[in-house]
A and B are shown apart, each in its own frame.
Chain A
Amino acid sequence: MVNDYEKVKAIVDRYGGKHASVIAILQDVQSEYHYLPEHALRAVAGQLRLPLIQVCGVATFFKAFSLKPRGEHTVTVCLGTACHVRGAPAVLDEAKRQLGIEPGNTTDDMRFTLETVNCLGACALGPIVVVDDEYQGQMGPRKVKKVLNKYKKTPRDRRHAEIVVSS
């Protein structure tokens, strides 16, 4: 825990402890832990001398932040308008069915987190699904299973697994 506190402190210090940097600080904390653990939020609030609820307010307002640990693969279904008219809702339905979770949630085995995004600006390839950083274009409900299967087989990221266990 001491180690964790130091980690957060280093991030806060990088921004000179300025209140205005709270969003940037939380972004860096999130890229460190892949989510925002409670102890980190408490540390940020303490360091910045801000009421904890204010930090929580920011952390829950912006979509970039997650207060829950995330799965090892993030499946993001684009719901931009171009993807929508080309059939993204059916793709999302199928992804929900395949993973058995609603967007914003993570499967029990911590393998997949399902997310939606409101446009990635790769509209020519719509409907688009992004798994981690790989774009899967021209998706249809039929292709969802195939794409997910590809990632089911990849080994778990060890570093990530440790974080999940330690939290």
Chain B
Amino acid sequence: MVELTIDGIKTRVSEGTTVLEAASEMGITIPTLCYYHGLSCYGECRVCLVEVVKGDRSSLEASCTLPVEQGQVILTDSEKARKARKVIVELLLASCPNSKTLQDMAANMGINKIRFKIKDRGCILCGRCVRYCKEQMKSGGIGFVGRGTSRRVATAFDVTPEECRNCGGCEWICPVCEKACMAESLIDGLCGGCQNLAPVETCLVCTGCSESVGPQGHRVYK
């Protein structure tokens, strides 16, 4: 067992646990995007950043890939972590403005303006579909091609691969593909409608928010 401190509370978890899992066991919610329970951890989106304190120095680490260590001191909701997360969600929204998951997240974090140029790529490259296809379906028909800003999720030569069994899992697991925010015009890059008015609670059982958000806001499952 490893003992560590998360947000000032001491906890003991078994070795090999990630900080994200340890926090979740304590009921602390860290926002995530590319993380999906049951798939391998990828560390792409950096939304789950936490502050790791070492003496008088601290650094930010993605909690989904960070293994627990004896004596570790973690802050999941520090000023530094929140600030970085906000910029990251802002960046993600600038490249995928119609994702409701992201719009919700932005609203939760109190982002009120996207300061970057909007370049709708329709994908945040979280790789959930790629990992699902490979790890759960043992198919491996989709993957990443290109690099840098031309990186995208694709099938080989953009045709349906032989390996594909039409399971539809890749669409189902996508945090962007699901019901997109239908607001016609974005204000400062944000969905100007419904949930920007009030912060939305995050459900404990929510699997990436597929619930449509009406004027009353988000239904919260407890």
Contacts and interface: CB of A to CB of B under 8 A. Distances in A.
Nearest to A60: B145
A147 interface: no
Contacts of A38: 157
Contacts of B156: 41, 51-53, 55-56
Contacts of A52: 156, 161
Contact of A53 (B140, B146, B147): B140
Interface in A33-64: 38, 41, 51-57, 60-61
A96 B157 CA distance: 28
Point out which of A53, A54, A56, A61 has the most chain B C-beta atoms below 10 A from its C-beta: A53
A126 B151 CA distance: 31
Interface in B3-61: none
B40 to A, nearest CB: 16
A57 B144 CA distance: 6
Contacts, number: 36
B163 A51 contact: yes
A57 B157 contact: no
Nearest to A67: B157
Q: How large is the interface on B (under 10, 10 to 19, 20 to 34, 35 or more residues)?
A: 10 to 19
Contact of B154 (A51, A53, A55): A53
A57 B125 CA distance: 14
Interface string A69-108: 0000000000000000000000000000000000000000
Nearest to B134: A51
B155 interface: yes
B153 to A, nearest CB: 10
A41 B140 CA distance: 16
Contacts of B154: 53, 56
A61 B147 contact: yes
A56 B140 contact: no
Contacts of B161: 51-53
Interface of B: 140-147, 154-157, 161, 163
Given A53-B140, A61-B146, 18 more contacts: A38-B157, A51-B140, A51-B141, A51-B143, A51-B156, A53-B142, A53-B143, A53-B154, A53-B155, A54-B140, A54-B143, A56-B154, A56-B157, A57-B144, A57-B145, A60-B146, A61-B145, A61-B147
Interface of A: 38, 41, 51-57, 60-61
